[in-house]
């Protein structure tokens, strides 16, 4: 993905994660900035469906040509779906971080946590 | 060697991109693809004893179905093949190699001569101690010298690498706590730590807990205080750390760790900054590992053989790996022996007594320099790093700023974030382009807490002219990036292989050569 972009319909966590909230289920992934800093991703360690994740805590790891990095959950809940396609094609995290590169869907346990996330403008301001 | 940025440069580089160099055209051909059936480099003389048919001597179950396909080459083919391969490599003997935290200093040739003496080189590892007194005395002497440098008197030379020294250190910590009747679960490491630290902790069965770095590049004391408790077995620390910064709060850190009964572990990766100036033992550390290939001039080489001796305090001593070398006075003078009777030892970590040739070289280095010389080596290592840092701040400080602090110890970390933002040229591109200038790149993208990091360690054995040339090369690359970012982004142009597809290498590694 050539140019930086931070869609307005997403909520952001300062550890460079995004959440797309749809009722009580949210989709998680990493931001354009995160994939750019990681470099080419070569391995995604898929977490198991049913695992509980906690906001601010790591829930999986991605390995790039530079390093293995933890991915932090922007919100708390239980994983209900995992993007299995990333197992064979982890490069989708680089190519399409907000689309094909999504990582997990989580049933939220505390929707009030959404208030702690920041919007695209605030996230971009943080990066500047 | 350095290149002034200009549009002509870009044009020349684009032109050279079209035609490959002879070395690039010479595809990787293995020794198995050379030669011809029946060709020999050497004929064995006729034996002076009756010949026996090997088929009579070897039972059928141990015989191959068909002969192994071994290379059949002439001696010139053989020599040229390996010399050619050696030239495809970048090594310390061909150029400046400022790989941060690796201490790529010159390896004096005197050490090779000493290590090649038949008494050292041909000594059998199973020789009876009574007939290996010289070797045991050398090892005993190296132990004492390392103990003095560390400020911790008890040394084991056994670990075969720095990473095994780390593992030994954490296993010693575990043995120590178990002897106290205490079961602990966590080990603390700073977020600037070497990757081997968390790996070691995990391998030793502990949970890694990261401690944050403060604005000055040292350990965040408040975060340490919040995380250090009775469950913590050890804090692993490098001082100076991977940012090239000496942590002035080390005594306070040691006190906090010792208050909860944990041990303090010193990763000796950066010992080259402090030899003869200060000692880990005096700072409050309990366990230290040494990388003999860094500070003590054992050549770095392809994964081994290496040595990662450890030095420990009195409370850790009973658990050291067995056997230990002992010295006793007899009527005929001192006698050296191996003591296997070590009931509380964590056991043996390696076959025989470790990599003896490595000990000979490091002992030769320590004895050649002496205490004064080692101190001077560290002083010049720090001076060289600060000189290079000052030159780079002058030439390209806005594009490649220092990540933390104002000055450094033996190494420093720059960040290429401003250059990347303005030109799209990132640290990886700078590293690749440096190869075209005849320099090995510094360590890149490490430590992880600095974006677009370049970790530069010049060592004490480089001249001012080399440091100047390197600074000018980096400045030229920055200038070139402003004119035409594509030049660095497509580099290198002059090396045996061009830019590699690192993602494909990680995802689809070719690990077998078809014969």
- pLDDT 10s digits, B232-265: 999 999 999 999 999 999 999 999 999 999 999 9
pLDDT in tens, B364-412: 999 999 999 999 999 999 999 999 999 999 999 999 999 998 999 999 9
| Averaged pLDDT score across all residues of chain A | 94
CB < 8 Å to B445, chain A: 39, 66-67
Q: What is the mean pLDDT of residues A102-122?
A: 95
> Residue B328 burial (CB < 10 Å; 0-12/13-18/19+)?
exposed
Tell me the pairing of strands B186-190 and B207-211. Answer: parallel
d(CA A120, CA B5): 39
Domain boundaries, chain A: 11-122
Q: Which two tokens stand for residue B362?
A: 């490091």
Contact present, B192 and B186 (Cβ < 8 Å): no
**Mean pLDDT of all residues in B111-118:** 95
Q: Over B288-335, what HEC string results?
A: EECCCCCCCCCCCCCCCCCCCCEEECCCCHHHCCCCEEEEEEECCEEE
A41 to chain B: which residues are within 8 Å by CB? 503
- The answer to whether residues A65 and B506 touch, using CB atoms and an 8 Å cutoff, is yes
pLDDT per residue as tens digits for the range A84-110: 999 999 999 999 999 999 999 999 999
Q: Is B500 on the interface with A (CB under 8 A)?
A: no
Question: In chain A, what residues touch B441 (CB-CB under 8 Å)?
Answer: none
* Contact partners, residue B261, CB within 8 Å, separation at least 6: B177, B180, B182, B230
Evaluate whether B111-369 and B373-507 have a shared fold.
no
What is each CA distance from B423 to A127, B391, B436, B488, B500, in whole angstroms?
17, 22, 20, 10, 22
CATH class entry, domain B373-507? alpha beta
Domain covering A11-122: architecture: Beta Barrel (2.40)
Q: Where are the domains of chain B?
A: 30-43+69-88, 111-369, 373-507
- Looking at the complex, report in whole angstroms how far the Cα of residue A125 sits from the nearest Cα belonging to chain B: 15
Query: A42 vs B507: CB contact, 8 Å cut-off?
Result: yes
Shortest distance between the Cα of A38 and any Cα of chain B, in A, equals 10
b/e per residue, A12-45, with b = 16+ CB within 10 A? bbebbbbbbbeeeebbbbbbbbbbbbbbbbbebe
Q: What is the pLDDT of residue B515?
A: 59
Query: In terms of CA atoms, which chain A residue is nearest residue B507?
Result: A42
For chain A, the 3-state helix, strand and coil shares in percent, each to the nearest 5, are 25, 35, 40
User: How does DSSP classify residue A118?
Assistant: B
The CATH number that domain B111-369 falls under is: 3.40.640.10
> Which tokens hold the place of B200?
């070691």
Residue B304: per-residue pLDDT:
60
Q: Can you state the angle between helices B464-483 and B7-18, rounded to 10 degrees? A: 90
Determine the Cα angle at B343 with ends B337 and B346, to 5°.
90
Instruction: Please answer yes or no on whether B503 and A91 come within 8 Å at the CB atom.
Output: yes
**Confidence band of B194 (pLDDT split at 50, 70, 90):** confident
With cut-offs at 50, 70 and 90, classify the pLDDT of residue B10: very low
**What tens digit of pLDDT does each residue of A28-60 get?**
999 999 999 898 999 998 999 999 999 999 999
Q: Is A127 on the interface with B (CB under 8 A)?
A: no
Q: Would you say residue A120 has pLDDT above 70? A: yes
Looking at residue A47, the DSSP 8-state letter turns out to be: P
Q: Which residues of B touch A63 (CB under 8 A)?
A: 506
């Amino acid at each position: 993905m050539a140019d930086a972009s931070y869609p307005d319909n997403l909520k952001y966590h300062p550890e460079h994660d995004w959440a797309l909230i749809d009722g009580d289920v949210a989709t998680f992934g990493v931001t354009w900035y995160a994939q750019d800093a990681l470099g080419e991703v070569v391995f995604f360690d898929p977490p198991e469906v049913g695992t509980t994740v906690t906001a601010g805590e790591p829930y999986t790891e991605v390995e790039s040509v530079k390093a293995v990095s933890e991915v932090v959950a922007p919100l708390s809940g239980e994983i209900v779906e995992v993007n299995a396609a990333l197992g064979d094609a982890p490069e989708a995290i680089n190519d399409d971080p907000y689309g094909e590169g999504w990582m997990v869907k989580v049933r939220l346990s505390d929707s009030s946590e959404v208030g702690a996330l920041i919007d695209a403008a605030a996230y971009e301001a943080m990066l500047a | 060697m350095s290149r002034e940025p200009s549009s002509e440069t870009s044009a020349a580089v684009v032109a050279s991109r079209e035609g490959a160099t002879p070395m690039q055209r010479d595809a990787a051909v293995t020794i198995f693809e050379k030669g011809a059936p029946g060709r020999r480099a050497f004929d064995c003389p006729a034996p002076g004893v009756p010949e026996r048919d090997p088929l009579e001597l070897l039972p059928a179950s141990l015989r191959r179905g068909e002969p192994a396909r071994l290379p059949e080459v002439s001696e010139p083919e053989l020599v040229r093949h390996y010399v050619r391969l050696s030239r495809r490599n970048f090594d310390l003997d061909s150029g400046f190699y400022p790989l941060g935290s690796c201490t790529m200093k010159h390896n004096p040739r005197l050490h090779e001569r000493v290590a090649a003496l038949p008494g050292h080189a041909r000594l059998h590892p199973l020789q009876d101690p009574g007939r290996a007194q010289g070797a045991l005395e050398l090892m005993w002497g190296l132990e004492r010298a390392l103990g003095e440098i560390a400020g911790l008197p008890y040394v084991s030379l056994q670990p075969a690498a720095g990473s095994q020294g780390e593992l030994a250190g954490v296993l010693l910590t575990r043995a120590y706590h178990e002897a106290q009747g205490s079961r602990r679960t966590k080990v603390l490491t700073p977020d600037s730590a070497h990757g081997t630290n968390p790996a070691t902790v995990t391998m030793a069965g502990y949970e890694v807990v990261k401690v944050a770095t403060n604005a000055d590049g040292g350990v965040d004391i408040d975060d340490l205080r919040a995380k250090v408790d009775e469950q913590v077995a050890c804090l692993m620390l490098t001082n100076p750390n991977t940012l090239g910064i000496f942590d002035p709060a080390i005594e306070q850190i040691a006190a906090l760790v010792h208050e909860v009964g944990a041990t303090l572990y010193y990763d000796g990766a950066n010992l080259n900054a402090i030899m003869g100036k200060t000692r880990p033992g005096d700072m409050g550390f309990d366990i230290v590992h040494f990388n003999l290939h860094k500070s003590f001039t054992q050549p770095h080489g392809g994964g081994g053989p290496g040595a990662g001796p450890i030095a420990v305090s009195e409370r850790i001593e009973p658990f050291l790996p067995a056997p230990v070398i002992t010295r006793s006075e007899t009527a005929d003078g001192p006698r050296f022996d191996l003591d296997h009777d070590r009931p509380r030892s964590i056991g043996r970590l390696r076959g025989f007594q470790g990599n003896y040739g490595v000990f000979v070289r490091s002992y030769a280095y320590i004895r050649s320099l002496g205490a004064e010389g080692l101190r001077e080596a560290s002083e010049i290592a720090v001076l060289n790093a600060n000189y290079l840092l000052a030159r780079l701040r002058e030439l390209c400080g806005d594009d490649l700023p220092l990540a933390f602090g104002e000055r450094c110890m033996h190494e420093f970390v720059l960040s290429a974030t401003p250059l990347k933002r303005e030109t799209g040229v990132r640290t990886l591109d700078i590293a690749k382009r440096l190869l075209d200038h005849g320099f090995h790149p510094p360590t890149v993208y490490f430590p992880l807490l600095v974006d677009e990091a370049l970790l530069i360690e010049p060592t004490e054995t480089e001249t001012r002219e080399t440091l100047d040339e390197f600074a000018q090369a980096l400045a030229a690359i920055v200038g070139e990036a402003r004119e035409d970012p594509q030049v660095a982004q497509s580099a290198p142009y002059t090396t045996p292989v061009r830019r590699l597809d690192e993602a494909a290498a990680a995802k689809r590694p070719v690990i077998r050569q078809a014969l």
